[in-house]
Structure 1
């Protein structure tokens, strides 16, 4: 089994073109692009220069990335705010942009999503003990990144 050969790019112009395609394909964080450029074997000064050019050309926009990431993880995977925030922090998105992106989640949709994942999980549980059952649901929702107080409210106001 041969290891897949990583492409080494030393010409910044070629790297810029490739990075533009990489960013045009889907929204990326600066850190993802930086990691990819280093993976290609570029020097730090070339990497930072290319990142600047990508930002100027609007191929790279952290604010846009944060909002797209938030929207995607919430609507596709039903992640809660905590898990989305951790994901954005992992991608080194500035706190101010994380906060802004999380505000794009509609409060009503958020509650609906939380209720839906709890109902779905409740249907799979065979636990008869009400306290244990409630605990399992709470742990599950917290694992999905939802806030404990919100989970408690939803569980209290439903018969799950």
Structure 2
């Protein structure tokens, strides 16, 4: 299959639309650019344009990613952080954006997932049920300390 070739302006527009559709991080845009055989200068020019026109904004991306993964997918902070790091977002930026998650919402969500999952664990002794539920919550990215705090209340 032959690759269709696009003009520089067509590629630029495609990348603008890619960023408009949903917030993207630099790594995703760079990955997308690989589809088009661009020289380094062209890539840089497009990146600068996307940044200058605010189509590409790493902080906005990080904030919306955190909100989405917590409020929609119900991930804990650890899993969110790990996934953002894979997208080459700096730890400093990640930590400064975690205020997108309301602490009371975080505790409520943790409590709800704990209760939902725990109630499905039939025919287990109480301590087994608790251990299995804690393990599950940690796999969802919730911090061990947060889980213990919730249990001690």
Q: Same fold (TM over 0.5)?
A: yes
2: CA distance, partners of 1:9 / 1:47: 15
* Mapping for residues 1-160 of structure 1, pairs under 5 Å: 8-9=4-5, 11-157=7-153
- Of 48-57 and 123-132, more deviation after overlay is shown by 123-132
Unmatched 5+ stretches in structure 2: none
Unmatched 5+ stretches in structure 1: none
How high is the TM-score relative to the length of structure 1? 0.88
The ranges of structure 1 where at least 4 consecutive aligned residues each deviate by more than 4 angstroms after the TM superposition are 5-10
Say what the alpha-carbon RMSD is for the aligned residues: 1.6
Q: 1:154 to 1:98 in 2, by over 3 A?
A: same
- Kindly provide the CA deviation profile for residues 14-66 of structure 1, in whole angstroms up to 9, marking residues without a partner as x: 11111001100110011101100012222333222211110001100000000
2: CA distance, partners of 1:29 / 1:125: 39
How high is the TM-score relative to the length of structure 2? 0.92
- Kindly provide the CA deviation profile for residues 84-107 of structure 1, in whole angstroms up to 9, marking residues without a partner as x: 111111111122211111122111
1: CA distance, partners of 2:20 / 2:51: 12
